[in-house]
Amino acid sequence: MKQKYQLDPLGVITLSLRQSIRRVVFLARLTIWRFFFSLPIITWPAAKAAFYQGIAEGLRDPFDQEVNLREAFIRGFFDHLVRSMVIALINGLILVVIILSIVFWTFQEQFVLNLLAGIALPFLIYWWMCQPFIYPLLIEHPEMPVVQFAREIIRLVARHLTFSFVTAFSLTWLFLLSLPLLGPLSLITIPFLALITTQALWVVMGKTIPDLVDPVKYADFLAEKKREVQDDPETSSADN
């Protein structure tokens, strides 16, 4: 049965482009924070996680009434400091193993052994399809153990193969096209890609995309959510 999404990948890209233009100052500040927190090199996964934390919280506050950019970024940086590094390390090691396997079997003298390189190719494609969802999913499930997180992202992509492939393909081309624009324009292109990946994840998870909701109704929803948190501080954030 064909799955129905509130947006297709092209719709996500179009919406993200409008958002990146409308909120360019907010997104540029977030990108600058990410750059400085990545300078120690080893902290780049945590800086990227904090960047996505700010993206998600900014999207859920389309009127810029509640989100505190600096507070959201710093909180995201320290909340995801260890897990983001572990996940980035595992993700990199998986890629290295797949590539080494392909190279090893490709350079064997016997043609039959060369064919074994093709076995690793689907794993490389699947790894590539998982990439857009890693950091947005990390933000959505901050307490999920790493092993469970890996299983969840594998299942997520498996359930939405076509959507995941089109999203990964689109992002790859957008990234390649944006390479000549690196420099000052990276303040726009980097958050633009992050907006796409975050909202693509929300689409496949069936979560609400605030910019698609009536502004008055969403404002009422935020007010009700704020009252619930004030009444019960221990209550975790409700799913949108």
Q: What is the pLDDT of residues 72-105, one digit of tens each?
A: 999 999 999 999 999 999 999 999 999 999 998 8
Q: 225 pLDDT exceeds 90?
A: no
Note whether residue 97 is domain-resident. Answer: no
Distance separating the N- and C-terminal Cα atoms of the chain: 25
Percent of the chain with pLDDT over 70: 85
Q: b or e along 48-76 (b: 16 or more beta carbons within 10 Å of the residue's beta carbon)?
A: bbbbbbbbbbbbbbbeeeebebeebbbeb
The tens digit of pLDDT for each residue in 36-78 reads 999 988 999 999 999 999 999 998 887 666 778 889 999 999 9
pLDDT at 118: 85
Note whether residue 104 is domain-resident. Answer: no
Q: 157 pLDDT exceeds 80?
A: yes
Q: Please tell me the distance from the alpha carbon of residue 240 to that of residue 62, in angstroms, as a whole number.
A: 14
Note whether residue 178 is domain-resident. Answer: yes
Domain count, the chain: 1
Note whether residue 42 is domain-resident. Answer: yes
> At a CB cut-off of 8 Å and minimum separation 6, what does 48 contact?
34, 38, 84, 135
Note whether residue 113 is domain-resident. Answer: no
Task: Tell me which of 235 and 32 has the higher pLDDT.
Answer: 32
Q: Predicted confidence band at 186 (pLDDT cuts at 50, 70, 90)? A: confident
Note whether residue 126 is domain-resident. Answer: no
Give the residue numbers spanning the domain of 179: 9-81+132-225
The tens digit of pLDDT for each residue in 119-140 reads 889 999 999 999 999 999 999 9
Q: CB–CB of 200/167 below 8 Å?
A: yes
Note whether residue 208 is domain-resident. Answer: yes
